[in-house]
Each structure stands twice: as structure tokens, then as C-alpha cells.
Structure 1
Amino acid sequence: MKRIIFFGLLFSFLGLKAQEQATISGELKKWHKVTLDFVGPEVSESDEFNPFFNYRLNVNFTHSESGKSYMVPGYFAADGDAANSSATSGQVWRVHFAPDEVGVWAYEVQFRKGKWVAVSDRDTPGVSGEFMDGAKGQFMIEASDKTGRDFRAKGRLDYVGGQYLQFQETKDYFLKQGPDAPENFLSYVDFDGTFHNDGHKDHLVKKWEAHLVDWKEGDPTWQGGKGKAIIGAMNYLAEKKLNSVSFLTMNIVGDDQNVFPYVDYDTYDRFDVSKLDQWEILFEHADRLGLFLHFKTMEMENQGLLDHGGVGAYTKLYYRELIARYSHHLALNWNMCEENGDWVKNHKTPPQFKYERLSMAGYFHDHDPYQHHIVIHNGNMFEDILGSNSMYTGLSIQTHHEDFHLVHPWVIEWRNKSVEAGKPWAIAVDEPGDAQHSLMPDKDDPSHDVARKNALWGGMMAGAWGLEWYFGYKHDHSDLTCEDYRSRDAFWDQCVIALDFFNSLPFWEMQPADQLIDNGNYVFAKPGEIYVVYFKTGEKSKLDLSAAQGELEGRWFNPRSGDYLKKTIKVKGGSSVELTGPKKDDDQDWTLLLTKK
């Protein structure tokens, strides 16, 4: 009691009200999530004076030595424990911050009130919201103590002007492999919300029961043990050594219709606070497991739902809530839309109905304090968003053939086009294959030869920074019905074999160089020093080594097992050489790693 009285007297002496000061929680360490809670006006999700549109909380964080500054948006957090209480009202207002420097950080609060101030870019829209408006404080950040897969050991994953993303603490470059399906990953029975029984495809709500066995003692849950199965699904992916997971955050009028951030299916300006808090528990666990978060903000069917496809008030409100709640995560990208543009073409939309692809990326660039990687998915191809004036930093490519044959040439095409346009893109292939089959379950395709050759190795040899795998709808555990990632367990092993191989190379210094080989094989090279040659079969091929001087040593790598053969070969640079696979009459794929002695 004496301590409370003392702080009350201190605040009075300083001319401040006690409720203006932040309650700070989290580990106060570099790259960790630091949360500031403020006591603000008591409001409800359903108040006539809409608390989501009509209040705006921004907090400016400034490092005392470097002067580095971040303006971070905040959000209404109900009672501050909505994930467990399911509260819809309260007076807690919250902001998350991921500091990237040790030392003292100062904060200053701006809290505004007025009609639609949340989506205003004016410095001081409306009037003061009182309470914590103008509050100041500071806190000390120490070095992180995390190791291993935990992203807090690696730092933020950034686009750095090249074709691969880089962690800012370790300076390592990142390659990803993981599932792109199910797109309705977040359609989960243990999340709060009205989607369970609102008459919109309720049969697709997931239980993820197959992964309940993967939950471990000490893992997070909510509301007395909810969430174990979906947390277990995350654990399974990490235990397989995959490192990404993908999900839609809004699929109203889409294929599933059970994932949305709102209080109900037909309301687009009021957020379900407890459900979004529960999503955060899941995403925070992913950070610790080393799983990259692929946020797909819209899909083909709903790209015109908010503001007729423009970046208007409802779209900005949706984007702001995602940024405020989740931008502190260290490894993520914002995908502006899955299959963007197809809806326009298929529904013969009038010409004046334009999807503002540049504006979508521009909003995230301007409002995400950390400027995470921004991509978009085809649908329409990408000529209109090339160049240095575009805020896109990469692509999320989809192909549409059962044999995956477009993966390799499309990655090369758009890598080259982005370089020619003056802004190299980091390109991932996030839906290789066709809608019907794509990555089939192990029981339907035990060897996955075509997926491995044309998509997995085809994409990586083309210079993709990773792939995520779509599950075709003609098979069990499809893009909408999957509740068991073990359905593709054998293929995940092949993905990790490829990850380990490319992570052993300076891949960020290498380029696709198919012009050096014949017979449709692939080359990925740092000319003169390192050549990776991928043979789809053991057929004889001619490799141009004219850029290499002296002798190179070759090792044969098995992309199916992950083993190197003991036998090595030696070849002379300066001209072309003939090569065949390592085993006679072998029609399997092999990888030859040639390095200068």
C-alpha cells in the first residue's frame, strides 16, 4: 500500500495522472516483444461510438543513443486478458514493440479521438483522447539470451535490396520450406467467435485432433487448456525442421468463409478482440519455434469486399489492426492478396473497377513500423508493380500445371524482370502445381518424384528463396480439409534435404545459369568458383566451365536421401566438359556440387 501511495504522490508531483503511465510487460531484451498497456476509456466492441474507428493510439519509441525512432500503432485490448476471459469490453489499450537496440528506449504516447481518426494520416486528427495522451516514459533493453531456431536469437528478417531476406542480428540469409495449405489454417474450433455456427460452411471448422499428440507440457494454451491441437500442429512442423506456415486472415465470401478478424461475418469495422488475442498466442509460439508467418490478407473471392477493392477506410482499418497486433513478429511477410486479379477477369468487372495493387503495398510500407517483406500472388501477373517506385519487395508465385513445369522458368523470368526494372525482388513459389493435385498425400504419391524435380529443386535452382506447398482438392487433407500435416510426412523430409543442401552454400551470391548446360538440366552458380548442377536423369550433358580456371572437384549428392556419394570427380575449367550421372543406367535425379580447389 505504501508503494502505491508513493507512486501516486510521485505522479501528482510530476503533474501526471497514474493511469497515464504504461504497464510494461515481456522480457525487456533485444528482439523480444515488449508490451505497453494503458488505462484508457472504457469501451466495448459494440459501442455506438465505434472504438476501432474513432480512437487512435500511436506510440513513438526512440533509442536514446542512436536516435532511431519507430511510430507503432496500438489497439483496444478489452480487459487486457481477452484470450482467456473472452471479454468484449474494458479499458486496456495496448501496443507491442520489438526493440532492435540494447540500451534505453523512450516512449511518447499520442491518443486521439474523433470520427474515423484511426484511419487518418494527419498528425493530430480529431481531439485529444485524454487519458494517456502525451504520456512519456522509458525502459532499458538488454541483449537477448535466445539460441537455436528461436527467431529472437536471429533478429528481424528484412528485405535488404536483394533476392534473399536477411536476419539482422546474425546476418544470415533465410530459405523457407513449409505448407501453403490449408489456407483456412485459422478456422479452428478453439478460437472464439461466431464463425462456428453462423451458417457459413461451418462443416469446415477444424479440430486438428491428429496433432493433439504433438502438444508438449509447458506449451501455451488458453481458457484452461484450449488450443493444444493447433499448437501441436505448429510443433510438428518445427520438429520436421520446416520453417514456415501460411494462412489467410480473412476469407469472407471465399472458399472457407470461417476466418475473419471481425465480430461476425457481416461486420467489417469491429474486431473480435479475444479471437485476435488467441491468434497472437499461436503466432508467438511460432516465433519461438522458428516458423516464418505468411499473412495472406485477402483472397481472390473477397479482394473487392472492402471499399470495392480500393484502399479506403475499411481496408485501412483492417490493415491497421493487423499491423498493430502482429507487426512485432520478426519473420513474416504481408501478402496483399492470394490470386489477385482473377476475380476481375472471371466476373467481367467493369474497367473502372481497379484493384489498387500499388496502394495496398504503399499502405503497409508507410504504416508497418518495421517495413516487413511485402508480396502479392497471381492471378494477374506483375508488370504493373515492377520498379523502384513500387513498395513490393517480392512475389508469391502460383503455377497451374500438374507437373510443376512452370516453377523454374517463372522464378527466373521474374527475378530477371525485377532486376531490369531497378528493384530486385525476393521471390517465393507459394502454390506450385495445379488446384486438383499439386502436392499429393504420401499414400497417393509415395516418392513425390515430379514435385521434387520440377518444383522443389526447380524452384531453388532458379533462385527462389523458398516454397510453400498447396494440397490439391481431389485428395484427402486438401487445401480446405487438411487437419493432419503428417499426410505429407515423407515429402517434408525431401524439403529439409534441399534446405540443408542450399544452406551449406553461399546461395545469396549465386545465380541461376541454365545457359551453361544442355538437356534441360539446371545450373545454379557463382561462376568460376561454385557450380551446382541438377540432373533430372543421369543422361549425358555438356557443362560450360569456360569461366572457371584450374581444377574443380565434384561431389555427387542424392536429393532423395540427403547423402553424398564417397566417390569424387575432378574436372578442368576453361572449356566445356561432358558429364553423366554417377550410376550407370540410372534415371533418377542427382545433384553435382563443383567447387574450385
Structure 2
Amino acid sequence: MTRTKLLQVDSIDHYLFRFTVKTVTLVIAWASVTASAQSIRFQLPTAPISQFDVWESSVTSKKSLTDNPFVGASLHAIFVVGTDTIPVEGFCDSPDGRLFRLRFMPLRAGQYSYVLSFSVAKGKPQLTRGQFTVAASTRPGPLRVDSQHPWHFVREGSGEHFFWNSTTTYWLMGWKDERIIQQALDRLARLRINRIRVAINARQDDGKRWAEPLVKASEQFTFKLNPWVARQPDDLDNPGFDVTRFNVAHWQKLDRLVQYARQKGIIVSLIFYVDGLEHGCDPFKKATMGNADEQRYYRYAAARYSAYDNIMWDIANEYHLFRNEAWVEKMGTLLKQADPAKHLISVHGKADFPFRKSPWVDVVLYQSWDECGGYQFMTDCRQKQMEAGRIMPQVNEEYGYEDHYPVWGCGPTATKVPNGRSADNRRRLAWEIYMAGGYQSTGERANEGTGAGHDTGGGWINGRGDSTMTMLTGYGYIMDSFQQVTYWQMEPHNELTNYGNLCLAEPGQQYLVYSRLTDCRVALPRTSGTYSVLMLNPRTGEQHPLPDCDASANGAWQYPKSLVDDWVFILKKK
């Protein structure tokens, strides 16, 4: 991890110290003023803390200290561990400014010293200091790019590789009853989904915008998300956002969503805009995009959520519809600097990704529908990334949702042929994406909708599902298959199998074959010895060990019978 270093520090107790946050240098004098003299109170955690936990402190006051606490007051901290110095920004957590919080995630065990500084407008900072010990943790820690195998992911704490099994739940925050949110997360966790996409800010009238007319606003569900205070929060096109004041209740609800997902082992990709071009979602427009108020929006999110090990950032969904590339670069750089934990960051756009070399980008996200986003597309994406001189994971973040048939997509086929985007079709396409060495985010059907007909589901729109929605079970079988090999050490090697079948291999050691033909054959080095062979049914999850293969016999393994449907074979050197 790269952390900001002290520019001038003799010790944490020194009378004068200096630190730099991005390009802004703050100088704090060690004053003898006490918090009580200024009618504020620092509240510091006393419970033991472990690595990757959330250390949270607060500042409270008996009355509001400024007309607008979101711009007129600030809470900052410096944490020092060993030779590392980490500046952290706090945030206002009450509409009247009587409560500020500061959250910090220690990334390493050890002895920490800190100084908290609270100030109002241009007043003199009020300080408190302390120390705490961080114990080693068994938590998996934040998601990182694997430095040894940078096409793939690893958890910082456990060192375990992370098989990205993701789905879209844009309007999960739209549920008014938070028990429904928790039930949705419970279900997705049971289905082994380990990452979800959630909008912080989005506005729509109903699902007709995406050819999903059964998903409607109701007494339980709203499409209108209000991250800022609004004069008319229920007005779709003119909410009257005050972009200098945050709607604290909205953010506290998102806190609880992130915290519950953390308990369930689910990473939440926080999206700052979904359908930013639509209705009143974007209060800045191109005229004021990237200004101080919009920057505050991104910094506020970083202050609230960077202390959680189960988040990552998405600058905007389909940014190209309402922003330009210069804005993306600006906000991506800002967010990378504002997040002391340096969570993964990307931006969702289309089939092209113009930010391959940008220092703030950690993951490449695409939108390419149907077979246009399948094996060949992901293979080409890997090649373009290699040509850029920087390897990082490739994800088709959207390739068409289950039973979702708008007029757009990969040509006319999928939009007109029945079952063109069925659960089985999406599963097979996901296999293609994974077998190209990439990753994917899927979406469940939303055609049994909120507020109409059978009032369950909502799928990719709001994250809720039921027992009739079985697509994600097949994605769990994909995870089962990959977790039986060290897939991060494998590369695409289709030249080793029948044309039309797909092969990932660490030649001479292990092979994962996704067979779609009546025959399946894999070429092996004759000198590589004996292999165990496992046959998996990707439609049911059943697994069957087959007889061992001696590569010296004919330099290949071949399944002796004709196959019907798709199958998976895993060969491992014994």
C-alpha cells in the first residue's frame, strides 16, 4: 500500500507537525485549548481492534456550530504506525452538524498513534490525541489485484484468491423496509454471490425505461434515491437538490447495507451515478461537472466507506452518456487520493475502455452484450491490455440480463429469438468470459416485478429474488469448477483442444476444459506423466472422477464417448 508520508515530524507529540493530503498542506499547532472549552466532545473507541476492523471516533456538540456543517466544519485525523502516516477525513453525520464521525481501517497490526483535529470555519482547530494497538486479524481484508498474477484478484489479509462472482442490484437502496434488503443479501450470499453493484444516486419513474414494465414504484419500493437534501424529494425531474448538504438518512441506510453485506462476505461496488442522463439524477450537468460541490460528493463517500474492507468504487455507470473522459480522469484521481485504504476503482462505460493506462484504475469494466461480449471479445480485451503495457483484471460488467429483451444488444438474434437471454444462455456466455481469463457480472430476471403481478423479484434492478429464480445456481457451479484448480496460474490454450471447445491450462500441470462439442480431446506433453481426471456437469453441479490418464501413451487425453450438452473436464498432474 502506498501511504502519504510525513513531511516534517519529530514525533507525534511534537509542538508543530505538518502533513500533506494531496496538494493541500495543513499546519496544526499543538494548542492547550480543551474540547470542553469549545462545547464539543471527542468520543474515542475503547474496545479492542483488529486489522481490517473499523476504528470509529466521533465529535459531538450541544448545538449547531455553523449554518452548514457539510461545508463549514471539518474533522481530520493523522494515524502513524511505524514509518507510515495516514491522513483520514471525517464526515458530518447529522443534518444540524452536532455529530461528526471519523472511520479508519488499519491495514496492518501494530501500535498506532493518532491526532484528531476538529475545526469550524476558520476557527482554531481543537485536538485530541491517543494510541491504540491493532491485533492481527483473520478477516480476508480488502480486495486487491494479485501482484504476482495481475489478471486476477486476491484478498489482502488472507491472501486467498477471489473468484469474482458478481451480480447487478442497482436499486437495492430503493427498498423502504430494510428487512427486504437484508433478505436479498441473505439469498445472494446463499447463492455464493460475492460482489454486488449498488447505486448511491439514481432516479427513474419505473422499469419501462429498460423494457421492464412490471417493476414499478410501490409502497415498499422507490426509484428515487436522494443522496442530497432535496426541496422536492418525490419530484422525479426537479428534486431541487442542495448539493452542499447531504441527506444523512440516505447515507446511514447505505451504511447499514454495507455493514450487513460485510457480515455476509459480499463486496459492494458503490456506483456514484446510475443513468446520470435521466431525469433529476445529475444536479451538476456538464456545466458544473467536477466542481467543488461534486468533488465533495466523492470525498464524502470516501470518508464514510473507505474504512470497510468490503467495498470498491465505480465512478459512474455508463459515464459516456452524460460525462466526458476528462471528467472521469479527474474524479478517478480525486477518489483514489481521498481513499486512505486504496480500494479498487474503475468506471463503467461501453465496449471500449479508454483508461487502460490511468494510474487510478485498478480493474477494467466493459459493457458488451450477448455473444459480442463473449470469448473473442474478452480475448481481444486481454490483448489490448497487454499492448497498453499494464496488466489488470478484465470484467464484462454487463452482457445482457436474464429474460431481458430490449431492442439493443448484439445484433438482432438475442432480441428476437426465444430464450436468447435465458438463464442457460447467460450461464454459457459466462463460461466463455471466464475461459478467456476474464470475469463477469450478471443480472437476474426482473420480469416478475415489484408492484405488479407476482410481487417478488426485481432481479438486476433491485436485487430481490425468490425460489423460482435459479440462474445464479449455475454460476455457483462455475465457481465450484474453478476453485478446484489454481486458475490464476492458468492461461487460455484453445490450441490444445478441439476447435470450439475452450481450454485454460498450465501446460504439463493442470487443464480446465469447457466442452461444447460431441467430442473432447486435450493434447498433453508426452513426458508429463499421469493425470487425474474429473468430469463435472455445469448444469447440475454433479462431479464424477474418471480413470487416470497416462500422457506418455499418445500425448493426449480423450473422453471415450459422445457428449450431449456442455461439460467440464479437469486434468491435474499426479
Quote the residue 2:389 is aligned against: 422
Structure 1 residue 246 corresponds to structure 2 residue 197:
yes
Alignment of 1:431-442 (within 5 A): 431-433=398-400, 436=405
CA distance in 1, matches of 2:52, 2:499: 48
Q: Deviations over 1:433-463 (max 9, x none)?
A: 26527999xx9899833222222x1122122
In 2 relative to 1, CA 316–253 (structure 1 residues): closer, same or farther, beyond 3 Å?
A: farther
Structure 1 residue 468 corresponds to structure 2 residue 454:
no
CA distance in 2, matches of 1:425, 1:113: 42
In 2 relative to 1, CA 447–253 (structure 1 residues): closer, same or farther, beyond 3 Å?
A: closer
For the residue of structure 2 that corresponds to 1:486, the secondary structure is: coil
Structure 1 residue 559 corresponds to structure 2 residue 541:
no
Equivalent position amino acid for 1:327 in 2: S
CA distance in 2, matches of 1:547, 1:390: 44
CA distance in 2, matches of 1:292, 1:578: 39
Q: Deviations over 1:46-70 (max 9, x none)?
A: x7x432123332211112xx33332
**Kept after mapping to 1: 8 A contact 2:168/2:460:** no
In 2 relative to 1, CA 490–26 (structure 1 residues): closer, same or farther, beyond 3 Å?
A: farther
Note the C-alpha offset of 1:420: 2.8
**Kept after mapping to 2: 8 A contact 1:519/1:541:** no
Quote the residue 1:549 is aligned against: 528
**Kept after mapping to 2: 8 A contact 1:358/1:390:** no
Equivalent position amino acid for 1:55 in 2: A
**Kept after mapping to 1: 8 A contact 2:57/2:101:** yes
CA distance in 1, matches of 2:86, 2:568: 46
Larger mean Cα displacement after TM superposition, 470-479 or 408-417 = 470-479
**Kept after mapping to 2: 8 A contact 1:245/1:291:** yes
Alignment of 1:497-536 (within 5 A): 497-536=477-516
Equivalent position amino acid for 2:228 in 1: Y
CA distance in 2, matches of 1:526, 1:249: 41
Quote the residue 1:587 is aligned against: 564
Structure 1 residue 459 corresponds to structure 2 residue 475:
no
Note the C-alpha offset of 1:497: 1.5
Q: Deviations over 1:546-591 (max 9, x none)?
A: 59733433221211222222332415269864734x643x321111
Quote the residue 1:540 is aligned against: 519
Note the C-alpha offset of 1:421: 1.6
Quote the residue 1:228 is aligned against: 179
CA distance in 2, matches of 1:29, 1:578: 49
CA distance in 2, matches of 1:170, 1:569: 33
For the residue of structure 2 that corresponds to 1:270, the secondary structure is: strand
Q: Deviations over 1:319-363 (max 9, x none)?
A: 01111111111122211121221457xxxxxxxx65522222211
Structure 1 residue 385 corresponds to structure 2 residue 364:
no
Quote the residue 2:464 is aligned against: 484
Q: Among 278, 303, 306, which residue is 2:253 paired with?
A: 278
Quote the residue 2:218 is aligned against: none
Structure 1 residue 165 corresponds to structure 2 residue 153:
yes
Quote the residue 2:131 is aligned against: 138
CA distance in 1, matches of 2:96, 2:380: 51
Equivalent position amino acid for 2:175 in 1: Y
CA distance in 1, matches of 2:386, 2:158: 26
**Kept after mapping to 1: 8 A contact 2:365/2:397:** yes
Quote the residue 1:35 is aligned against: 56
In 2 relative to 1, CA 27–469 (structure 1 residues): closer, same or farther, beyond 3 Å?
A: farther
In 2 relative to 1, CA 15–406 (structure 1 residues): closer, same or farther, beyond 3 Å?
A: closer
In 2 relative to 1, CA 54–90 (structure 1 residues): closer, same or farther, beyond 3 Å?
A: closer
In 2 relative to 1, CA 310–522 (structure 1 residues): closer, same or farther, beyond 3 Å?
A: farther
Query: Aligned residues, how many?
Result: 494
In 2 relative to 1, CA 289–321 (structure 1 residues): closer, same or farther, beyond 3 Å?
A: same
Equivalent position amino acid for 1:555 in 2: L
Structure 1 residue 57 corresponds to structure 2 residue 87:
no
RMSD, aligned CA: 3.3
Note the C-alpha offset of 1:318: 0.8
Equivalent position amino acid for 1:141 in 2: V
Gaps of 5+ in 2: 1-30, 210-221, 231-238, 450-456
Q: Among 165, 171, 177, which residue is 1:184 paired with?
A: 171
**Kept after mapping to 1: 8 A contact 2:356/2:364:** no
In 2 relative to 1, CA 40–60 (structure 1 residues): closer, same or farther, beyond 3 Å?
A: farther
Quote the residue 1:16 is aligned against: 34
Quote the residue 2:264 is aligned against: 289
Gaps of 5+ in 1: 1-12, 79-87, 115-126, 147-152, 191-226, 345-352
For the residue of structure 1 that corresponds to 2:273, the secondary structure is: coil
**Kept after mapping to 2: 8 A contact 1:542/1:576:** no
CA distance in 1, matches of 2:223, 2:448: 21
**Kept after mapping to 2: 8 A contact 1:337/1:377:** yes
In 2 relative to 1, CA 574–232 (structure 1 residues): closer, same or farther, beyond 3 Å?
A: same
Please give the TM-score of this superposition, normalised by the length of structure 2: 0.77
Quote the residue 2:331 is aligned against: 360
For the residue of structure 2 that corresponds to 1:229, the secondary structure is: helix
Equivalent position amino acid for 1:467 in 2: Q
In 2 relative to 1, CA 493–288 (structure 1 residues): closer, same or farther, beyond 3 Å?
A: same
Larger mean Cα displacement after TM superposition, 317-326 or 520-529 = 520-529
**Kept after mapping to 1: 8 A contact 2:533/2:548:** yes
Structure 1 residue 372 corresponds to structure 2 residue 347:
no
CA distance in 2, matches of 1:25, 1:429: 44
**Kept after mapping to 2: 8 A contact 1:341/1:380:** no
Equivalent position amino acid for 1:276 in 2: W
For the residue of structure 2 that corresponds to 1:137, the secondary structure is: strand
CA distance in 1, matches of 2:427, 2:472: 11
Note the C-alpha offset of 1:74: 0.7
**Kept after mapping to 1: 8 A contact 2:274/2:317:** yes
Structure 1 residue 306 corresponds to structure 2 residue 284:
yes
Quote the residue 2:216 is aligned against: none
Structure 1 residue 406 corresponds to structure 2 residue 385:
no
Equivalent position amino acid for 1:229 in 2: I
Quote the residue 2:114 is aligned against: 107
Larger mean Cα displacement after TM superposition, 503-512 or 21-30 = 21-30
**Kept after mapping to 2: 8 A contact 1:342/1:380:** no
In 2 relative to 1, CA 323–296 (structure 1 residues): closer, same or farther, beyond 3 Å?
A: same
**Kept after mapping to 2: 8 A contact 1:27/1:34:** no
